[in-house]
Amino acid sequence: MKLSLRLIASLVFSISLLTFLVARNQVRSQKSGMRGDLARRAEVLTESLQETVEPVLQKGPTQLRRIVERFGDRQHLAGVAIYDPDGKLLAASANLEHNAGTPPNVFATCKASDTGAGGFIKIGDMAMYAYAVPLHRDANLAGVLVTFHDAGFIEAQSSNIWRGALWDVIAEVLLIVLITFLIVRSTIVGPITRISQWMKDLRNGNAGPLPQPSAGDFLQPLTSEAASLGQSLAEARMAAKEEARLREAGDTLWTADRLRVGVRRRLRGNSLFVISNREPYQHVHNGKEIEVRVPASGLVTALEPILNACDGTWIAHGSSDADRESVDSHDRLRVPPDLKHYTLRRVWLSKEEEDGYYFGFANEGIWPLCHIAHTRPNFRTTDWEHYRRVNEKFAQATLEEIENAEEPFVLIQDYHFALLPRLIKTARPDARVAIFWHIPWPNPEAFAICPWQKELLDGLLGADLIGFHIQAHCNNFLETVDQSIECRIEWDRFAVNHSNHFTIVRPHPISVAFVDSSEESRGLLTGEPSRATILEKLGPETLFVGVGVDRIDYTKGLLERFLGIERFLDKYPQYVRKFSFVQFGAPSRTNIKRYKDFFFEVEAEAQRINARFQVDRWKPIVFYGQHHDHHEINPYYRAADLCLVTSLHDGMNLVAKEFVAAREDEDGVLVLSQFTGAIRELRDAIPVNPYDIEQLAESIRRALEMSPEERRARMKRMRRTVREHNVYRWAADLISELAEIRLDAPELTEKR
């Protein structure tokens, strides 16, 4: 109500002020127009009288009076008076007789200048306009003729204007009060009352969907904040329930809260620094706006919850076009954008550095070297030089960040930074340095292709701990080290002694957060499409849907997957129109020719297969070849009958775990390549060899025809595995292991 009053008061004040100014101007210009008009008319009339009066001037007062009376009844003319040169009244109209005894001021002006003179005067309380002209006889001044015009009508006219303005203001004020009241009620009070009712319901635990304002509504920021608040509250409630459940069950589950406490204890007050090439948030220009994106990267998916839990610093390449505009003078910013749980420090690279280090050495060299996917690695000296220099640049940035941190924990991520552990450890021996290699490590013969394998191994062995997803990759790494550099391998405890520095090598299977989001918290924000909506969108007869989510990368087995779907429809035509496969494919590393070509190959293959089977708007493969965020993908995970993960080679593959984590309904079947790290944990997936198209087709059929009981039993077991081996546990184990390393006496490094 206060708001409406304030709004109304300011509107009334401004409108009154405006009306007053307009009326004043109008009065002024009308007044001056009417005054000018009156003066002109008085002048003309008086001068015409002058000609009549002059000849009869000497004829005496009776004659003069007759003339004066004759002219006395013109419009606005109040009267006429004739004076002798000394100001003595000779004759005056009857209605002036009592007031014209003394000549008005204009008499003197006229006499002195011997020409006509006029002016506004007051006679009694009457406003008059007096105009005087000289009267001559034989070229000498013989008298003065003065006409008096009534000017009262000018004031009356002005009062009318003021009165009209007052009525206007009154009418406008009433209208404003009415309109403001209606607008405030319908656009502010109504929606706010609805939102506050919703919040009340939320507090009582029975909130429905949040009332949505229309697009562009000024309450939208408030609504979306309220929705986030609702989401956080729902999640907090879930977490509390989960904690209670865990306490009850004496369970060993890791949650974000447990990690926060656990890691703080393990870090013993020291800070956590994470280094990766890919940043967790990218600022991208979108027209005039800056948009924040979360990139498609399993590594980002896995690390984000840890940084959120521990308020550390994440150092990464600022690779997007609006990144520089979003940092402070130290190239830092707090993220996630709305929650600001940790610091992101961006490192800038020139185009040449990015081309050589990232596209060249890392992704055309090491990536195909480590993935057995039949794409030849390319090693160029210039790329290697850039790789070395960029590793030095990141070392510099990391050393700046850890400068004031005692015994910092430094977690380096992936194949982009093989040289970084040594560079950091040499400058800061007190730092606990781990590197996690997110991709496979091949056998020694395959790795020997790399001309700089010794340098890479030496760089890596600067770390106190090297992590891989699975034991097989640890074994391959140790064998590679054994065969190529001077060192001692302690096979019994998986450690390397290289120049008297110990590095332990351990498997730590990475995972996802596994948040049990309640129906309540999911529905609140998103209003996400249901399975029925998704099926309807795919075709009127569609009964089954499969999903795939990948970066467009030749290691992901996308062509094989599509061939499997084609073979399945050939063998089982009863599924035509009934089964659709939705493939989300985020374009990746497209500056590399192999990737760019591969994108078009994937697209063309989907089109070819669709052309064979398409009926009306139904098609077997729906390919979305753009970046999609989790909110867009999750409804498909939840709606799908099956998820296909057909990597030709993959360190872990977090899509498989994301799918399982999303299936709160304990339904859905995972078809999983036997060449992924994930297959070792997700034993209830249907394992496939992606090169075996016949087997792929059969696996799709088996997944679609599996009994609901079997589906549930399998999904239940997989969910238990992912819940228990979630990313919080991964982080806790990794950090515990690093914390347990004895830096002062490395030869005593043992698990306590």
Nearer to ligand G6P, 81 or 435 (CB): 435
- x/- contact string, 377-416, with ligand G6P (CB under 6 A)? -------------------------------------x--
Instruction: Write out the H or E segment, with its range, that includes residue 495.
Output: strand 495-498
What is the smallest separation between the CB atom of 302 and ligand G6P, expressed in angstroms?
A: 9
The interface with ligand G6P within residues 534-553 (CB under 6 A) comprises 551
Q: Outline where DSSP puts E strands in 93-202.
A: 117-123, 126-137, 140-150
Q: Which is nearer to ligand G6P, 553 or 641 (CB)?
A: 553
Segment near ligand G6P (CB under 6 A); pick from 163-171, 294-302, 484-492, 615-623: 294-302
Q: Find the shortest distance in angstroms from Cβ 474 to ligand G6P.
A: 17
Give min distance, CB of 650 to ligand G6P, in A. 9
Q: Kindly state the smallest distance separating residue 551's Cβ from ligand G6P, in Å.
A: 6
Going by C-alpha positions, the residue among 77, 84, 87 that lies closest to residue 44 is 77
Region label for 459, one of left (φ > 0), alpha (ψ between -120 and 50) or beta (otherwise): alpha
Q: Is 297 in the site for ligand G6P (CB under 6 A)?
A: yes
Give the nearer residue to ligand G6P in terms of CB position, either 434 or 545: 434
* Residue 102 structure tokens: 């003394």
Query: Nearest approach, Cβ of 499 to ligand G6P (angstroms)?
Result: 28
Q: Choose the binding region for ligand G6P from 41-49, 297-305, 421-429, 659-667 (rule: CB under 6 A).
A: 297-305
Quick one: CA torsion of 227, 232, 236, 242, rounded to 10 degrees? Answer: 90
DSSP symbol at 621: E
Q: Identity (one letter) of the amino acid at 409?
A: F
Give the residue with the Cβ less far from ligand G6P, 129 or 358.
358
Q: What does the alpha-carbon distance between residue 64 and residue 43 come to, in Å, rounded to a whole number?
A: 20
State in angstroms the smallest separation of the CB of 422 from ligand G6P.
Answer: 20
| Footprint on residues 602-631 left by ligand G6P (CB under 6 A) | none
Site for ligand G6P in 176-235 (CB under 6 A): none
- C-alpha 35/C-alpha 401 separation (Å) is 83
Task: Using the minimum distance from each CB to ligand G6P, give the nearer residue, 299 or 656.
Answer: 299
Return the residue of 72, 104, 298, 677 that touches ligand G6P, per CB under 6 A: 298
- Which CB sits closer to ligand G6P, 266 or 469? 469
CA–CA gap between residue 160 and residue 177 (Å, rounded): 26
Q: How far is CA 658 from the centre of its chain?
A: 25
Nearer to ligand G6P, 304 or 698 (CB): 304
- Locate tokens 């909506």: which residue? 533
Neighbours of 187 (CB within 10 A): 14
Spatial distance between the Cα atoms of 560 and 690, rounded to a whole number of angstroms: 6
User: Could you check whether the bond before residue 336 is cis, i.e. omega within 30 degrees of 0?
Assistant: yes
Chain positions 691 to 710 lying near ligand G6P, rule: CB under 6 A, are none
Nearer to ligand G6P, 595 or 613 (CB): 595
Nearer to ligand G6P, 364 or 414 (CB): 414
Q: Can you give the three-state secondary structure of 358-421, one letter per residue?
A: HHHHHHHHHHHHHCCCCCCCCCCHHHHHHHHHHHHHHHHHHHHHHCCCCCCEEEEECHHHCCHH
Least distance from ligand G6P to the Cβ atom of residue 215, Å: 32
Nearer to ligand G6P (CB atom), residue 414 or residue 566: 414
Helix (H) or strand (E) holding 732: helix 727-740
What does the per-residue mask of binding to ligand G6P show for 564-603, with x meaning CB under 6 A?
A: ------------------------xx--------------
d(CA 37, CA 364): 94
Measured distance between the N- and C-terminal CA atoms of the chain, rounded to whole angstroms: 67
Of 151-159, 167-175, 193-201, 293-301, the window that binds ligand G6P (rule: CB under 6 A) is: 293-301
Q: Which is nearer to ligand G6P, 370 or 735 (CB)?
A: 370
Residue closer to ligand G6P, measured from CB, 8 or 510: 510
Of 130, 117, 126, which is closest to residue 154 (Cα–Cα)? 126
Which CB, 118 or 459, lies closer to ligand G6P?
459
Exposure on the CB side of residue 395, measured as CA atoms within 13 A: 22
Region of 9-17, 217-225, 296-304, 470-478 interacting with ligand G6P (CB under 6 A)? 296-304
Query: 439 with 476: CB under 8 angstroms?
Result: no
Site mask for ligand G6P (CB under 6 A), range 672-691, x = bound: --------------------
Dihedral, CA atoms, 676, 681, 687, 689, nearest 10 degrees?
Answer: 20
The pair of three-digit structure tokens given for residue 576, joined into one six-digit string: 């035509």
- With respect to ligand G6P, which residue has the nearer C-beta, 293 or 617? 293
CB of 470 to ligand G6P, least distance (A): 14
Helix (H) or strand (E) holding 34: helix 2-53
Which pair of structure tokens corresponds to residue 494?
């998986």
C-beta of 502 vs 659, nearer to ligand G6P: 659
Task: At 212, list the tokens.
Answer: 């949505």
Binder of ligand G6P out of 299, 307, 369, 639 (CB under 6 A): 299
Q: Give me 236's structure tokens.
A: 């907090």
Q: Per CB under 6 A, which region of 295-303, 460-468, 685-693, 733-741 contacts ligand G6P?
A: 295-303
Decide if residue 345 touches ligand G6P (CB under 6 A).
no
**87-116: contacts with ligand G6P (CB under 6 A):** none
DSSP-derived 3-state class of residue 144: strand
What character string, x for contact with ligand G6P (CB under 6 A) and - otherwise, covers 421-460?
-----------------xx---------------------
**Residues 273-292 vs ligand G6P: string with x where CB under 6 A?**
-----x--------------
CB of 462 to ligand G6P, least distance (A): 20
Would you state the structure tokens that stand for residue 573, as one six-digit string?
């035509």
Alpha-carbon span 546 to 548, nearest angstrom:
7
> Long-range contacts for 694-697 (Cβ within 8 Å, ≥24 apart)?
694/567, 696/560, 696/561, 696/563, 696/564, 696/565, 696/567, 696/568, 696/646, 696/671, 697/564, 697/565, 697/567, 697/568, 697/570, 697/571, 697/572
What Cα–Cα distance (Å) separates residue 502 from each residue in 275, 311, 368, 466, 497? Answer: 22, 29, 29, 11, 5
Site size for ligand G6P (CB under 6 A) = 10
Residues engaged in binding ligand G6P (CB under 6 A): 278, 297-299, 414, 438-439, 551, 588-589
